[in-house]
A and B are shown apart, each in its own frame.
Chain A
């Protein structure tokens, strides 16, 4: 049975130069992965029967506008039912080229999650079979969860700012 420490040891043995900032907060092993190696790493973990990472829990995005050349993070949670352990992987991408390899062919469930991350953050998943918006209207011309856009609807004039925490 794996635990967070032994899992990290195994990961470091497999990818000695691509991992950094390992963290054990919330009893959940979090590892930062070089974005170019993330796809290979996930493929290795998924195919390795002794690890048994058969389930992709989620893919999500984060925007850190102050972090130059690391503005976007893509977060992957994968789950090993065999060892009852979860693993969180983070890959950081620059604003100038927010793109990362798609993992749709490894986990088919990644398809819609990658579309959602694209929809809200504009992160490009290369080789995704159908990368278009999934939740927002197709005519939307921006990525609403990027922190460069205001949360409120700018087209509204008659709502009183005091009731919405804006002064």
Chain B
């Protein structure tokens, strides 16, 4: 950000110059609406993170969205069975752009201790993941650290991310259809 400091020329309240990307990124990062997709013990840790002791609302995240339509960040906390996989993918697809995914805990990230026929071996097999939080379950501090990393991504994300070739390729890799009205 640039500031013109020649006081002789500028005499008044002053102004700052920045790029639109950075200004919007800052606004987005400080008002992320998370959708908690919590299935097990990691979900309990997430509840602790939302509680007054750790207080996610410090970061503009107190408004949980239980509808994917209004959510920016999908927080997947807990074991995802293979039968639940298509549901999770549908929730992700229903979220409006721009969207990010935080995978909380060993189970969501890799299947964890459940190396078995019924458990999805990591949600990155069906949806793209931005930040992984390790732990079984992770402490609230770790979840907050994951959210901070999401914030870093959000701040530097281009507002035209969804039009980029990389993003389209990524979605194609996951066989997720980009809607016509989203992509020019």
* B117 A153 Cβ-Cβ under 8 A: yes
Task: Identify whether the interface residues of B are mostly helix, strand, loop, or mixed.
Answer: loop
By a CB distance below 8 angstroms, the chain A residues around B110 are: 158-159
* A153 B83 Cβ-Cβ under 8 A: no
Stretch at the interface among A70-78, A89-97, A144-152: A144-152
By a CB distance below 8 angstroms, the chain A residues around B116 are: 151-153
* A152 B83 Cβ-Cβ under 8 A: no
Q: When the two chains form the complex, which single residue of A135, A136, A153 contacts B111, counting CB atoms closer than 8 Å?
A: A153
Q: How long is the Cα–Cα vector from A149 to B116 in the complex, in angstroms?
A: 11
B67: Cβ under 8 A from any A Cβ: no
Q: How long is the Cα–Cα vector from A37 to B83 in the complex, in angstroms?
A: 37
Nearest opposing residue in chain B for A157, CB measure? B121
A6: Cβ under 8 A from any B Cβ: no
* A155 B121 Cβ-Cβ under 8 A: yes
* A136 B83 Cβ-Cβ under 8 A: yes
Q: Total A-B residue pairs with C-beta atoms closer than 8 Å?
A: 33
Interface string of B101-114 (1 = CB under 8 A from A): 00000000011000
A137: Cβ under 8 A from any B Cβ: yes
By a CB distance below 8 angstroms, the chain B residues around A155 are: 121
Q: How long is the Cα–Cα vector from A155 to B85 in the complex, in angstroms?
A: 15
Size bracket, chain A contacts: 10 to 19
Q: How many Å from the CB of A37 to the closest CB on chain B?
A: 34
By a CB distance below 8 angstroms, the chain B residues around A136 are: 82-83, 117-118
B123: Cβ under 8 A from any A Cβ: no
Interface string of B75-100 (1 = CB under 8 A from A): 00000001101000000000000000
Nearest opposing residue in chain A for B121, CB measure? A156
* A137 B115 Cβ-Cβ under 8 A: no
Q: How many Å from the CB of A163 to the closest CB on chain B?
A: 8
* A164 B115 Cβ-Cβ under 8 A: yes
Q: How long is the Cα–Cα vector from A140 to B111 in the complex, in angstroms?
A: 18
Given contacts A153-B117, A156-B121, 17 further A-B pairs with CB under 8 A are A136-B82, A136-B83, A136-B117, A136-B118, A140-B82, A144-B118, A149-B117, A151-B116, A151-B117, A152-B117, A153-B111, A153-B115, A153-B119, A156-B111, A158-B110, A159-B110, A164-B115
